[in-house]
Amino acid sequence: MIIYIYDIKTLQVVARPIVNSYGEFKAEPTKFYPDWNVTNHLSTEIEFLNPIIDNGVIREKTREELILLDNRIELLQDGEYVENNKIIVVKVPDYLFKKLWNKESNLWEEGATQEDINIEVNRLIDEFTILGEQKERWIKYGFDVLDIENKMAENIMKRNYLLTLF
């Protein structure tokens, strides 16, 4: 097995001795790495890509640590930005049809094109007519149509919103 020896100051791997077991290495580290010094080195059975020392223990940095400590802003997801050394998460507004995150302004925007809107409005019109037909049938047979009416009202609000975009 390979043991990874890290320099405490740089967190770089300085040696990779091959041993039978980690216990064997811990019993006599200088046998496998003559420069071993407990104040300058840490050893693990794991090679970390982004090591950090946390309470004397070496571990992999979290996504948040990579973003905040290493400025790896490419790891931010849509709706996230860094402010005052904190990751801020902006909730996506429900009313957006095609959600688009603007990394410059840190705001959600409508990302739909005119064609996207036309297709969706036509789909909503078809849905509305089907709901209307269903409502008539339900009234004819004495069923409650409140749920259908709510869906129809929501359909109208969606279409009205979409038609204000362009």
pLDDT for 36 equals: 96
Kindly write down the DSSP assignment for every residue of 117-156, as one continuous string. HHHHHHHHHHHHHHHHHHHHHHHHTT---HHHHHHHHHHH
Cα dist from 47 to 33, 36, 80, whole Å: 17, 17, 30
pLDDT digits (tens, 9 = 90+) for 111-161: 999 999 999 999 999 999 999 999 999 999 999 999 999 999 999 999 999
pLDDT digits (tens, 9 = 90+) for 95-113: 899 999 999 999 999 999 9
- φ/ψ region of 103 (left if φ > 0, alpha if ψ in -120 to 50, else beta) reads alpha
Cα separation, 93 vs 75, whole angstroms: 22
Cα separation, 61 vs 71, whole angstroms: 13
pLDDT digits (tens, 9 = 90+) for 48-90: 999 999 998 999 999 999 999 999 999 999 999 999 999 999 9
User: Residue 148, Cα to own-chain centre: how many angstroms?
Assistant: 36
Cα separation, 25 vs 32, whole angstroms: 7
pLDDT digits (tens, 9 = 90+) for 9-30: 999 999 999 999 999 999 999 9
Q: Are 69 and 17 in contact (CB under 8 A)?
A: no
The tokens describing 47, both together, are: 């090679």
pLDDT for 56 equals: 86
Q: Are 100 and 112 in contact (CB under 8 A)?
A: no
The pTM assigned to this predicted structure is 0.72
Confidence of residue 166 (pLDDT cuts 50, 70, 90): confident
